[in-house]
Structure 1
Amino acid sequence: MIRFIASRIGFAALVLLLLSGFVFTLFFVAPGDPARLVAGERATEAQVAMVRENLGLDRPVIEQYFSFLGRSLTGDLGFSYRNQQPVIQLIQNRMPATISLCIGAVIMWLCLGIPIGIMSARYPGSLRDRVGQGFILIGISFPSFVLGMAALYFLYFLPRQAGLTLFPPGGYKPFLANPAQWAWHMLLPWFTLALTSAAIYARLTRGQMLEVLGEDYIRTARAKGLSERKVIYKHGVRSIFTPLTTQLGADIAALLGGALVTEQVFGLQGIGSLAVQSVQTQDRPVIIGVVMLAGFFIVVANLVVDFLYLLLDPRVRV
């Protein structure tokens, strides 16, 4: 088990090191003047010279890289000359909206997808199964931006015309200021981001459950006289946690792309919208900071998923 943990931590560190090298090469070694790109087109020569000195671009490339790596490890992701703020401060201001969106969406799609998949597997071919498969088909067929626009139209615009206010049009409210307002403003973004993944998890759960329910140990449990509820939830469901955890680790990376679209649709000032604005304005330090931070969280999240295997699959411990 110790060897497994050590190997996973070492692999995660290697991935982060390779990511930092790729980002450094892309933005500082590629053709062009990095100082001019960082400072902006309107910067004077004196400002460009100051940026070049601050970034150490007059030093050897290998020394520049280790300086860049050292600053990243200490949380110094650079300075945005267009916003006149440190990059880490810009990201910290936007992070609560993105974290709220992603965590809420993950909880929602797990609470929707897994029960629907279990229900479909328990009653194959029945009306419940057809309803569950209909949910899967609808959820997989619609991209996030279509779901977001449809949710705004049917749940905000039409009720608003009738004099009702079911949901707000968008925007982020801080959790600590008013938890009820925070949840009310996040419900539609959560639903938009979670529906497609909920459908995927429902399909995966259904397929895994149908396979598990045909195993010999399930028939043995039924032959011993255990209730169907215990057979399903004590023996069947436990067996599907490992593939679901694997899928969750893979979906965390895709979650950032969906969050970017959802933030744009609902006007959430999160990291995704910050990345879009930075690309539009060519704010290189912010782009670098967002890429590095996103890569860090993806690696850490997958590392946590690997550690969960130790709890879910005893074979990993040996």
Structure 2
Amino acid sequence: MTRFIIRRVLFGVIVLWLVATTVFLLFFAGPADNVARRLAGPRAPMEVIEQIKDTLGLNRSMWEQYASFLGNLLHGDLGISFISQTPVTTLIMQSLPGTLWLVAGAAVLWMAAGITGGVISAVRPRSVLDRTTTVLVLAGISLPTFVLGMLMVYLALSVFPWTGLQPGPYISPLLDLKGFLQVMIMPWVCLAVVQAAVYVRLTRGSMLDTLGEDYIRTARAKGAPERRVTYRHGLRAALTPVVTQFGVDIGTLLGGVVVTESVFGLQGLGQLMIRSVRYGDLPVIIGAAILASAFIVVANIVVDVAYSFLDPRVRLA
């Protein structure tokens, strides 16, 4: 088990190195004046260009710049924003809690709803409940996130104002738990509805395949209770593709839930990315891109470890 985890971690490190190298080549390869102009923006004066060249050491050789770039990354130094003159690490740490809470809360909701709905539909295929769930899944998949979010905001503010739910900036639960829940419940539900539709369909298909396996029929022939057959034997094996999708979704969403944060006005990584792209703040864009890659790599490592518990044969792969 330890060797399995070490192999996966080393593979993740190699992936992050390749991502960092690609980012460096995309943004820093080329003549020093062109790189500085690209980082500062097309309207930046020459004194700003010269300052960037001196600060980043763009007049050095490419190998020296590359070594400095990797060294700064290893020390957590992502540079300084050219717009706010604030370290990129500080900006990311200020925006990260909102995104973490949004993704974590929504993940609990969509996993609970997705797995429960998928199992119920698979146990009773072609029933009225199964067909109703299928219709709801298609509606959830087809409904754009921003449309659902705007509809929820309208209902909360105009039709059901007594609920107290309202969009707004992120509030720490340590400072105001009630205000935190009022702000976060609608984004959680909005994100979870869209994601849960995918997980219901995925869980249902995987469960139907698993419940048709020979070892399931053998367990039933031995007189095992149906609940045990379904949840202990069937669900455990059927969760492998679900866990795969979960790892991909978590890693991707942690990089910035752009649409949901924009609709509800949350100050997270998605909003930070929008502002950075709008104003051409490339140091922040670079830092956020590398952080998003790190989230995806870590999520996939966790998924691989989860595989080893769901299916011990994976440890030998």
Under a length normalisation based on structure 1, what TM-score does the superposition of the two structures give?
0.92
Matched, 1:209 2:207: yes
Hey, what does 2:293 align to over in structure 1?
Answer: 295
Equivalent residue letter for 1:64: Q
Distance in 1 between residues matched to 2:41 and 2:208, nearest whole Å: 58
Equivalent residue letter for 1:249: G
C-alpha deviation, 1:142, in angstroms: 0.9
Matched, 1:4 2:17: no
Q: Contact between 2:256 and 2:269, CA under 8 Å: does it hold in 1?
A: no
Hey, what does 1:49 align to over in structure 2?
Answer: 50
Hey, what does 1:225 align to over in structure 2?
Answer: 223
C-alpha deviation, 1:2, in angstroms: 4.5
* Deviant stretches of 4+, over 4 Å: 40-44
Report sequence identity in percent: 50
Distance in 2 between residues matched to 1:45 and 1:113, nearest whole Å: 55
C-alpha deviation, 1:183, in angstroms: 2.3
Matches within 5 A, 1:177-256: 177-256=175-254
Distance in 1 between residues matched to 2:108 and 2:274, nearest whole Å: 26
C-alpha deviation, 1:269, in angstroms: 0.7
Aligned to 1:176, the other structure's residue is in SS state coil
- In structure 2, relative to structure 1, the CA distance for the partners of 1:251 and 1:110 (3 Å cut) is same
Matches within 5 A, 1:70-109: 70-109=71-110
Under a length normalisation based on structure 2, what TM-score does the superposition of the two structures give?
0.93
Hey, what does 1:21 align to over in structure 2?
Answer: 21
Q: Contact between 1:193 and 1:258, CA under 8 Å: does it hold in 2?
A: no
Distance in 1 between residues matched to 2:174 and 2:314, nearest whole Å: 40
- In structure 2, relative to structure 1, the CA distance for the partners of 1:218 and 1:146 (3 Å cut) is same
Q: Contact between 1:109 and 1:198, CA under 8 Å: does it hold in 2?
A: yes
C-alpha deviation, 1:260, in angstroms: 0.8
Distance in 2 between residues matched to 1:296 and 1:217, nearest whole Å: 39
User: Which is worse superposed, 2-11 or 148-157?
Assistant: 2-11
Equivalent residue letter for 1:82: I
- In structure 2, relative to structure 1, the CA distance for the partners of 1:52 and 1:230 (3 Å cut) is same
Matches within 5 A, 1:150-169: 150-160=151-161, 164-169=162-167
Structure 1 regions of 5+ residues with no counterpart? none
Distance in 2 between residues matched to 1:312 and 1:231, nearest whole Å: 16
Q: Contact between 1:105 and 1:190, CA under 8 Å: does it hold in 2?
A: yes
C-alpha deviation, 1:225, in angstroms: 2.8
Q: Contact between 2:203 and 2:239, CA under 8 Å: does it hold in 1?
A: no
Aligned to 1:212, the other structure's residue is in SS state helix
CA RMSD, Structure 1 to Structure 2 (Å) = 1.9
